Amino acid sequence: MKFAYRFSNLLGTVYRCGNLNFTCDGNSVISPVGNRVTVFDLKNNKSNTLPLATRYNIKCVGLSPDGRLAILVDEGGNALLVSLVCRSVLHHFHFHGSVHSVSFSPDGRKFVVTKGNIAQMYHAPGRKREFNAFVLDKTYFGPYDETTCIDWTDDSRCFAVGSKDMSTWVFGAERWDNLIYYALGGHKDAIVACFFESGSLDLYTVSQDGALCVWQCDTPPEGLRLKAPTGWRADLLQRDEDRDEDEDEGERETTVRGKATPTAGEQQGKVKYSRLAKYFFNKEGDFNSLTAAVYHRKTRLLVTGFASGIFHLHELPEFSLIHSLSVSDQRIESVAINNSGDWIALGCSGLGQLLVWEWQSESYVLKQQGHFNSMASLAYSPDGQYIVTGGDDGKVKVWNTLSGFCFITFTEHSSGVTGVTFTATGYVIVTSSMDGTVRAFDLHRYRNFRTFTSPRPTQFSCVAVDSSGEIVSAGAQDSFELFIWSMQTGRLLEVLSGHEGPISGLCFNPVKSVLASSSWDRTVRLWDMADSWRTTETLALTADALAVTFRPDGAELAVATLNAQITFWDPENAVQTGSIEGRHDLKAGRKELDKVTAKHSAKGKAFTTLCYSADGQSILAGGMSKFVCIYHVREQILRKKFEISCNLSLDAMEEFLNRRKMTEFGNLALIDQDAEEENGIAIPLPGVKKGDMSSRHFKPEIRVTSLRFSPTGRCWAATTTEGLLIYSLDAQLLFDPFELDTSVTPGRIRAALRQRDFTRALLMAFRLNERKLLQEALESVPPAEIEVVSSSLPDVYVDKMLEFLASSFEVSHHLEFYLLWTQKVLTVHGQKLKARAGKLLPAVQFLQKSVQRHLDAVSKLCDWNRYNMQYAMAASRQRGVKRPSEPPGSEAAAEDDSLRLLGAGPGDADGPLA
């Protein structure tokens, strides 16, 4: 089963760059996250990352009108045709150049791509089965500089293209006689967006300096005339007409039209545009660069985003301001509006923010932001429902694993967070930071209720809490000491010294009160918390220790060292039981500016984070590389290697040097490629001070900073340069039978159910291990016979039964039925299960997580219903009762009335409001 982990979700990063899109129903936002795409379902409060990735960061996303297909184009010009229904890649394509925008026609038959200073129109895929999904129809020339934006008319007859040369071009999608192309000027800066009016060729153009031009066309869309073919095309058409009429009409049309390039024609009888008005967003003397715009045709609503983080809502064509709001102090990169025109999505790439704003009620539908810098650490809650992450930006965020959203952010730390952990109850988070504090946060009231400090200011590099939640320990990076505090009183209990180098890791034994600390002084020390904080053992290592962790049963200790080894120790006898050499498995990549090969640079790389699996049989290791390795502890062999990213926009991804970037003058990677971009830094002649010279574009290096297995054993999480990656067991496509023989078939299972031999049917279903059959067998058992069937289950099948019940709670609506099964199985087999507590712990925790989630949901609903019923009863009793007249200003009477109205009736003293 350890081989079946697959990428399931990406948390911690909600938006990187590229354009946002709403789905057709308007309930979901599609957001590019690095080289992946995340779909945020706003109605059901869930986020899901598609299990596919491009080679570089995604630059633009084009969505088909029916919402079934999407075209993802990355910075290198590679395109993926993706089915959003089956969440898979249908086709790969390369545009051979940087693409700025992609747009499907409203009828779904064509799509246009702006690349360089040209626009290319392709036949849209998905209409029929075809070998090549991207067939080029026409190429349009005209603009002199890069093209930036596209917009189509409602009837798909024409489209407009904006350019950085301050011009907008209107092109005909067909060979129109009176409209081949039309160029519009009137702006003094690059065009950011252009929009057609509904059912018209009238046009709005918006430029970067905050100017809006309104253009009126003298011809309606119905007035466009198809151009009659001439020359060889006419002969070809005549020949085709004389032939058989069985030919496909679409093919003949394509053959007739061929490629259309704009040619200068006579002006008589052609479409003409005139400028009606010009408006300015910026006030007199104020300059704010306009960065994104979107227009909703039905409501005539124009939304514009600016570099200062402000966005405006205007009603066109009167250009009346509805409202203006500042959502961030960073540049708004992308704006989108849903079909109904109610929700506006805003993306800020500087801070990685994604906001969905309902402009009529002036409220947030969604407000999410990842860590500004990289994440440093993570921890799972004991039931596996929540993940807490700490980042270099000093923020502590708590994520819900089911919805994928962050629901609380703590900002009390003033420097980078180095370690996070949950207490055993799951309601307290303890964090350490470089600001010299260790803080405890309460998940009931969402507040920082304890702050632990040291006598002298010191930087804390790691934190640990014992299994009782009473003792908090943190390791210092500069004073080489360990600090012990009491959670109850907040007092410093002891300062433990002995290490001669910075403390790199701390871990409490889950079973005993023993603390293990690893240090750069090549030792791991074991401290006895019960016996006056003495050092019981000192484990000598061959290199600096980077991470330490206990096995879930506390009987083994694993240490990662600087020479890329993982050593295993028996903490009772202080004896080394094994080691794993991991340098060859790390396979670190070569950075762009490295002078040495990847093979030589790998000698300095090591595992920096370790984590045991929930059953303790495997260990997960990651470090300064794109690989996460999972090893079998007893056999000391590599079980599987996970490649966490294939994004070449990150550094140290490639194994060999890219020779195309090497010139006789040096490496092209030294040149700031983004200096010419809108938000890039222009570095002019020496001695000329302009712009922020300290700011540089850099490629972040791929690395894994922290790894944790879920207590349920079903998934594991990694904090990486890309964000928080979740890998979970993919059980859908896995056929994993148990003691299978020829007598076990689906037919025989159903025959046993018909004969009401439920125990035999259930055992056969477990041996076949097919989920649908198992569910059918289990749900066929009458509630009255559940106790009898569960008591006749052999011990071998009880573990499988608990795992199946836990996974069924996630998807099934038969809550009481499965709760009854759980109660009977645990009651009948409880004593025997206690003897195997260590082995069964992941399954039981998975079950607890599922039951707890339903308890939270149902209890909230019950409390709300109970409150409503009490309120209705109290209100009905008050109706028709004359109130005694009280003198004005009598506070006691008013208070008494309010208590009488909201309080429970007589005999209801146990109510929640009593």
DSSP 474-497: EEESSS--EEEEETTT--EEEEE-
Task: Give the separation between CA 143 and CA 181, rounded to whole angstroms.
Answer: 11
The pLDDT of residue 406: 92
The pLDDT of residue 237: 62
Burial of residue 403 (CB within 10 Å: 0-12, 13-18, 19+) is middle
Q: Which residues of 764-779 are buried (b: 16+ CB within 10 A; e: fewer)?
A: bbbbbbbeebbbbbbe
Do residues 429 and 396 touch, judged by C-beta distance below 8 A?
A: yes
The pLDDT of residue 283: 76
Dihedrals φ, ψ of 846, to 5°?
-65, -40
Portion of the chain with pLDDT greater than 90, in percent? 45
> Which among 522, 552, 446, 534 has a CA at the least distance from the CA of 482?
534
Rg (CA), the chain: 33
- Amino acid identity of residue 760, one-letter, is R
Ordered strands of the 363-369 beta sheet:
334-337, 343-348, 353-358, 363-369
Is the predicted pLDDT of residue 265 greater than 90, yes or no?
no
Do the strands 88-94 and 363-369 form a parallel or antiparallel pair, or are they unpaired?
Answer: unpaired
Q: Could you please report the per-residue DSSP string of 63-120?
A: E-TTSSEEEEEETTSEEEEEETTTTEEEEEEE-SS-EEEEEE-TTSSEEEEEETTEEE
Residue count (the chain) = 914
> Which among 327, 351, 390, 233 has a CA at the least distance from the CA of 708?
390
The pLDDT of residue 345: 95
The pLDDT of residue 244: 42
Mean of the pLDDT values across residues 600-605? 72
Do residues 137 and 123 touch, judged by C-beta distance below 8 A?
A: yes
What confidence tier does 577 reach under pLDDT thresholds 50, 70, 90? very high
Strands (E), 730-793: none
Mean of the pLDDT values across residues 276-290? 83
> Which among 609, 210, 172 has a CA at the least distance from the CA of 377?
609
- Distant-in-sequence, close-in-space partners of 136: CB < 8 Å, separation ≥ 6: 120, 121, 122
- Amino acid identity of residue 445, one-letter, is R
Q: For the chain, first and last CA: distance in Å? A: 52
Task: Give the separation between CA 708 and CA 379, rounded to whole angstroms.
Answer: 6
- Residue written as tokens 């392709």? 122
Would you call 760 helix, strand, or coil by DSSP? helix
Is the predicted pLDDT of residue 186 greater than 90, yes or no?
no
DSSP state letter for 329: S
- Amino acid identity of residue 282, one-letter, is N
What confidence tier does 532 reach under pLDDT thresholds 50, 70, 90? low
Task: Give the separation between CA 10 and CA 644, rounded to whole angstroms.
Answer: 11
Q: Which residues of 205-236 are buried (b: 16+ CB within 10 A; e: fewer)?
A: bbbbbbbbbbbbbebebeebeebebeeebeee
- Distant-in-sequence, close-in-space partners of 601: CB < 8 Å, separation ≥ 6: 588, 590, 591, 594
Calculate the CA 452 to chain-centre distance: 33
Tokens of 196: 């057609």
Count Cα neighbours of 161 within 13 Å in the Cβ-side half-sphere: 34
Count Cα neighbours of 557 within 13 Å in the Cβ-side half-sphere: 29
Tokens of 632: 């079998």
DSSP state letter for 208: T
Task: Give the separation between CA 81 and CA 92, rounded to whole angstroms.
Answer: 6
Dihedrals φ, ψ of 174, to 5°?
-105, 180
Which pLDDT tens digit goes with each residue over 619-636? 999 998 889 999 999 998
- Residue written as tokens 């056969």? 764
Which pLDDT tens digit goes with each residue over 811-844? 788 888 888 888 888 888 887 777 777 677 777 8
Question: Regarding predicted confidence, which is higher, 882 or 573?
Answer: 573
The pLDDT of residue 248: 39
The pLDDT of residue 735: 55
Do residues 129 and 90 touch, judged by C-beta distance below 8 A?
A: no
Mean of the pLDDT values across residues 680-709? 63
Tokens of 824: 């009977």
Mean of the pLDDT values across residues 102-125? 91
Do residues 324 and 312 touch, judged by C-beta distance below 8 A?
A: yes
Do residues 339 and 67 touch, judged by C-beta distance below 8 A?
A: no
Q: What share of the chain is helix, strand, coil (3-state, %, to 5)?
A: 20, 35, 45
The neighbour count for residue 645, using CB atoms within 10 Å, is 21
Portion of the chain with pLDDT greater than 70, in percent? 84
Is the predicted pLDDT of residue 798 greater than 50, yes or no?
yes
Mean of the pLDDT values across residues 584-598? 74
The neighbour count for residue 53, using CB atoms within 10 Å, is 22
Do residues 434 and 427 touch, judged by C-beta distance below 8 A?
A: no
Task: Give the separation between CA 402 and CA 712, rounded to whole angstroms.
Answer: 14
The pLDDT of residue 284: 65
Strands (E), 502-660: 503-508, 514-519, 523-528, 535-540, 545-550, 557-561, 565-570, 575-581, 607-612, 618-623, 627-632, 637-643
Do residues 588 and 625 touch, judged by C-beta distance below 8 A?
A: yes
**Helix residue spans in 633-693 (DSSP H):** none
Task: Give the separation between CA 561 and CA 266, rounded to whole angstroms.
Answer: 78
- Residue written as tokens 């307290």? 428
- Distant-in-sequence, close-in-space partners of 276: CB < 8 Å, separation ≥ 6: 214, 215, 216, 317
Question: Regarding predicted confidence, which is higher, 749 or 398?
Answer: 398
Tokens of 119: 């626009």
- Residue written as tokens 């809650």? 381
The pLDDT of residue 906: 38
pTM, rounded to two decimals: 0.80
* Run of H or E residues at 909: none
Q: Could you please report the per-residue DSSP string of 815-880?
A: HHHHHHHHHHHHHHHHHHHHHTHHHHHHHHHHHHHHHHHHHHHHHHHHHHHHHHHHHHHHHHHHTT
> Which among 847, 838, 778 has a CA at the least distance from the CA of 814?
778
Tokens of 869: 């019923």
Average pLDDT value for the chain:
83
Task: Give the separation between CA 218 and CA 274, rounded to whole angstroms.
Answer: 8
Task: Give the separation between CA 716 and CA 722, rounded to whole angstroms.
Answer: 16
Prior bond to 317 cis, omega within 30?
A: yes
**851-to-208, 810, 846 alpha-carbon distances in Å:** 54, 9, 9
- Amino acid identity of residue 338, one-letter, is N
- Residue written as tokens 């092209």? 668
For the chain, how long is the longest CA-to-CA vector? 103
Burial of residue 510 (CB within 10 Å: 0-12, 13-18, 19+) is middle
Which pLDDT tens digit goes with each residue over 748-773? 888 888 888 888 888 888 888 777 88
Task: Give the separation between CA 404 and CA 397, rounded to whole angstroms.
Answer: 12
Is the predicted pLDDT of residue 240 greater than 90, yes or no?
no
Is the predicted pLDDT of residue 256 greater than 70, yes or no?
no
What confidence tier does 251 reach under pLDDT thresholds 50, 70, 90? very low
